[in-house]
Structure 1
């Protein structure tokens, strides 16, 4: 089977375009990919991680087809696919995992050893993540399909909640993972750094895990208002003042039980210096504001190479952290890609049974494929929205 295909292509810093691209094949290099499937993409989301590349803050090459948050319908299966059939509606974890290596077998699917020759771990349409074609497209190939894909039990029911379920490919599990690794549980007090889509997903996840109080900090009022819309306390980081004082006003205490960094390496200084990049500022705040013995989850992206960094050390991913403070307070730090498969099925159940309204929390905005360049621009401007592309008009229909 072959057909036309279009996708969102990175052209260079600040520029993406929707272009005709090759229709996917069940192939890996020169060999047949019998364990793969081809999907007709139903929804595919713009992620903050994509923005790092589009801003020119990574070594992403021009011509890269973007997109790692994919939900689709199976249209073709390789010979070795046993448990999926054409017509199945599935969620695609952004991690590509073989299911066979030591890490996959232990549930660490974010650092599969067999899908990226350069380093452990791979993702669709992302720099240094194995060269896999992205899914901000009309059609995409997914390898190791029986292992990777989450089939929705009832396609019609799933389409009714597709704006929520599309977030299972990345940001909902990622936010949830950040909270789990920060030790969030019933009665916890939690600080979420960043009110972008992952930060808002983490805030909802903290509530789902039973947190007593969730505080979200950001520099964009529209995003803070979005956090308040579902019951979070907020802190405007453009305002001067000591962060511990601000925490104390809310909690009556100067520290939180759990801290989740949903900002990453493009962090900016707070207060009067908020226009200045300070890539370690969130990590240092985490150590200052988390109680002794507390945990710090770091789903925010940090990179090994940042050509746009303000200083030479940061260009190599070297940050000036006050690590001795974290050691003195016996903090636990957890970094790295979320292993999506660890969480996506239970989070699917939470959505289907009405326990969480994640699409409302992150303010999903549906757009067409041709509107993707504008979606990137609006998102880069700080819009308090999660842009979800509907390439075939399936959701609109």
Structure 2
């Protein structure tokens, strides 16, 4: 049996690459594993050799020490791999298949899964609906920033690529199907983007860039991206977006008016989440900034897609309310403008097959949009450090050096 190496959280601001157990078709005890999940048998699962696994902004929240994640937690929920072993209950996925893994873990059997709400599956996390790999308070399923990983409910969840050679040619695009491309698309779709829409995207990190590209795919006439880091905004410009540097220009409505002639957009997307900053040169953390600003610049009866991560506990928050996930949002403004809000994890399985076909047939170029950058497993700590500095890159880890 081969060994296994993985990227693990090692305390605030630190990750490490460590030797770890080769996965089994059972959930063993370990850092972050819910006690009620220990010993859970997964004969419906598979063991994957990881081909690519990406660093996500959601991982970065944990690494900054902004959650209750325990040290030793193996990170990573964006996984693409080759099937090495199948459980006795797996019927349709075969050894050798190359697959994308949705970051939501979903059983396929509960009411929510039957209604396509795979982001809030009722059977995978004993604490509350919804689960993910390598993430705090998500049931303790072991993360996939590793050489090998176990994936449960394989027949239901896994997206098989039709041709392995074709998939490897497009691997930097296809690796985005596990999370950020469906997440960005969900943000745009749930914001009501349609042909001719004007769209504002808050945040030019990878999810924001994916949302901007998705808005273009949905037919938006203008996509405006706002951020505090000029390098990220240059990346948004590279595929046709208008941009606003909110470090330099703190009046978002005024900047939108200069672009569109009016200070409002049809649709807005929050791709920032709970670590939001205020606007302007001296701005500091202000977690409700994005939610309040997009309500302000979205027209009456408009829709707000909110794929940015918000948490129920934020020990490092700026005030006591925010530490419990309570933010000072102008809900009355949203009510008065009859806004529609769509929040929560993205139900990846609603979108990933269609987005795969868009990639394979040359309609979507998500790797270019997010500036996919390949690194080795050993370079993961450096990748986390660079990502935290705000570089305009989406880091793709290549555990076995196959790219």
Q: TM-score range by the shorter chain?
A: over 0.9
CA shift, 1:31, in A, is 5.1
**Which residue does the alignment assign to 1:134?**
143
1:201 aligns with 2:200: no
> Which consecutive residues of structure 2, in runs of 5 or more, have no partner in the other structure?
28-37
Q: Secondary structure at the match of 1:295?
A: strand
Q: Secondary structure at the match of 1:271?
A: coil
**Which residue does the alignment assign to 2:173?**
164
Report if the CA contact (8 A) 2:374-2:395 is conserved.
Answer: yes
Aligned partner of 2:346 among 338, 357, 360: 338
What is the CA deviation profile of residues 11-39 of structure 1, one whole-angstrom value per residue up to 9, with x for unaligned ones? 10001000000000011443542100000
**Which residue does the alignment assign to 1:16?**
15
Q: Secondary structure at the match of 1:292?
A: strand
Q: Distance in 1 between matches of 2:7 and 2:310?
A: 24
> Which consecutive residues of structure 1, in runs of 5 or more, have no partner in the other structure?
none
CA shift, 1:9, in A, is 0.6
What is the CA deviation profile of residues 362-396 of structure 1, one whole-angstrom value per residue up to 9, with x for unaligned ones? 0000000000000000000001000000000111x
Runs in 1 of length 4+ with deviation above 4 angstroms?
none
Q: Distance in 1 between matches of 2:177 and 2:335?
A: 34
Report if the CA contact (8 A) 2:249-2:255 is conserved.
Answer: no
What is the CA deviation profile of residues 27-63 of structure 1, one whole-angstrom value per residue up to 9, with x for unaligned ones? 1443542100000000000000000000000000001
- State the aligned residue count: 393
Aligned partner of 1:101 among 105, 110, 114: 110
**Which residue does the alignment assign to 2:31?**
none
Q: Distance in 2 between matches of 1:180 and 1:61?
A: 35
Q: Distance in 2 between matches of 1:117 and 1:93?
A: 20
When the two chains are superposed, the root-mean-square deviation of aligned CA atoms in Å is 0.7
Q: How does 1:14-93 map to 2 (within 5 A)?
A: 14-28=13-27, 29-30=38-39, 32-93=41-102
Q: Secondary structure at the match of 2:10?
A: strand
What is the CA deviation profile of residues 320-362 of structure 1, one whole-angstrom value per residue up to 9, with x for unaligned ones? 0111010000000000000000000000000000001100000
Q: How does 1:1-397 map to 2 (within 5 A)?
A: 2-28=1-27, 29-30=38-39, 32-274=41-283, 276-395=284-403
CA shift, 1:174, in A, is 0.0
Q: Secondary structure at the match of 2:105?
A: coil
Give TM-score scaled by structure 2 length.
0.97
CA shift, 1:272, in A, is 2.8
Q: Secondary structure at the match of 1:20?
A: strand
Give TM-score scaled by structure 1 length.
0.98
Q: Distance in 2 between matches of 1:194 and 1:242?
A: 16
